[in-house]
């Protein structure tokens, strides 16, 4: 069935009587509400064929829909030298990367669980960096001297095991997410299981639209975005979509640009009070979450 720009299908991943698989015809993205997972056509092929090998996935897409010709597109793209080459993904262990995280106040043990160590060639030169995976198979890339991404660019969606969660926390970037985990561990060290919610990391405020389908599966949405104009615009865009079930927690680190600055005690030189945002003040020391 069709509702505006949304096309609804029975999921290809299970037997069902009611359609729960949505395709947005404007953005060419899908979302499965049973899996709480979605993305582009490559992400769909990854789920269907249980593989991350892009050439194999493109061949499978071409077999099912030869008029799309993704294989031809892929090889045209490969005709020019790619920016990132010879990517190797390892456990995060390099001392220089761990020192960088420590300087940002991030707990190393937590970072090792969430991140990877990447080795690659960029513009003919070898690099190593911290890699934070996204839902489309790409990585956010960080080290002391480099900030970028290995395509495809997309959001990251961290889901807990077991029953689906009602609450999701939204962050702008990987450093904010890791800072939150570090702060939570410091403030609640005696609590064994703190994962009562899922997480969405935008990896760029330009990815807000990509997060909307994922966030529709949650009853409560808590935003911990940056205290700047870009963070305010991102929150307002989400509030228009989720009015009544979204809350802004950025006032809990007012005077700091973001959660990592709050963690490190680095204050803004100029604090601009955001107008008319819904503020939830914590009941006790910490972030009130």
pLDDT tens for the chain, residues 1 to 289 = 888 888 999 988 888 888 888 998 888 888 887 777 788 888 888 888 777 777 777 878 888 876 665 444 443 344 344 567 889 999 999 999 999 999 999 999 999 999 999 999 887 889 999 999 999 989 999 999 888 888 888 999 999 887 888 999 999 999 999 999 999 988 876 554 567 899 999 999 989 999 998 999 899 999 999 999 999 999 999 999 999 999 999 999 999 999 999 999 988 754 444 444 544 444 444 666 6
- Is residue 37 within 8 Å of residue 46, measured between CB atoms? no
Which contacts of 113-117 are long-range, i.e. CB under 8 A and separated by 24 or more positions? 114/158, 114/174, 114/177, 114/178, 114/181, 115/174, 115/178, 116/89, 116/90, 116/91, 116/92, 117/89, 117/90, 117/91, 117/92, 117/93
List every span in the chain annotated with CATH 3.90.580.10.
2-78
pTM more than 0.85: no
d(Cα 46, Cα 69) in Å, to the nearest integer? Answer: 17
DSSP symbol at 279: B
List every span in the chain annotated with CATH 3.40.1360.10.
156-264
Q: Which two tokens stand for residue 80?
A: 């020019």
* Residues whose CB falls within 8 Å of the CB of residue 270, separated by 6 or more in sequence, listed in order: none
What is the pLDDT, as a whole number, of residue 123? 76
Residue found under tokens 């969405």: 200
- Coil vs helix vs strand at 202: coil
Q: Helix 54-64 to helix 70-78 angle, to the nearest 10 degrees? A: 150
What is the pLDDT, as a whole number, of residue 17? 82
- 141 forms beta bridges with 131, 148
Tell me the CATH number of domain 156-264, given options 3.30.70.980, 3.40.50.970, 3.40.50.740, 3.40.1360.10: 3.40.1360.10
* Structural element, H or E, at residue 125: strand 125-133
What is the pLDDT, as a whole number, of residue 266? 86
What fold, for 2-78?
Answer: DNA Primase; Chain A (3.90.580)
Q: Which two tokens stand for residue 97?
A: 């990367």
Query: What does each C-alpha distance from 197 to 62, 125, 160, 168, 251 come to in angstroms?
Result: 38, 40, 7, 5, 20
């Amino acid at each position: 069935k069709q509702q505006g720009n949304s096309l609804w299908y029975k999921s290809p991943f299970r037997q069902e009587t009611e359609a729960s698989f949505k395709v947005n015809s404007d953005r060419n993205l899908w979302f499965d509400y049973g899996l709480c997972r979605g993305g582009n056509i490559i992400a769909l092929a990854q789920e269907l064929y249980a593989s991350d090998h892009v050439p194999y996935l493109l061949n499978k897409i071409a077999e099912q829909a030869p008029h799309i010709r993704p294989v031809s597109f892929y090889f045209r793209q490969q005709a020019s030298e790619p920016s990132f080459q010879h990517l190797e993904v390892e456990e995060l262990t390099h001392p220089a990367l761990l020192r960088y995280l420590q300087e940002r106040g991030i707990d190393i043990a937590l970072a090792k669980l969430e991140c990877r160590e990447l080795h690659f060639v960029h513009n003919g030169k070898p690099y190593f960096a911290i890699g934070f995976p996204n839902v489309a198979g790409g990585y956010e890339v960080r080290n002391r001297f480099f900030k970028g991404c290995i395509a495809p660019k997309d959001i990251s969606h961290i889901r807990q095991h077991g029953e689906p969660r009602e609450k999701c926390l939204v962050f702008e970037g990987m450093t904010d997410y890791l800072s939150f985990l570090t702060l939570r561990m410091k403030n609640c060290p005696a609590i064994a299981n703190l994962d009562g919610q899922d997480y969405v990391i935008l990896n760029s405020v330009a990815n807000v639209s990509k997060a909307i389908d994922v966030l529709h599966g949650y009853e409560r949405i808590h935003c911990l975005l940056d205290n700047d104009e870009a963070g305010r615009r991102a929150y307002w865009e989400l509030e228009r979509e989720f009015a009544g079930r979204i809350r802004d927690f950025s006032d809990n680190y007012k005077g700091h640009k973001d959660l990592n600055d709050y963690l490190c005690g680095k204050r803004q030189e100029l604090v601009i009070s955001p107008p008319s945002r819904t503020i939830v003040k914590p009941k006790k020391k910490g972030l009130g979450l």
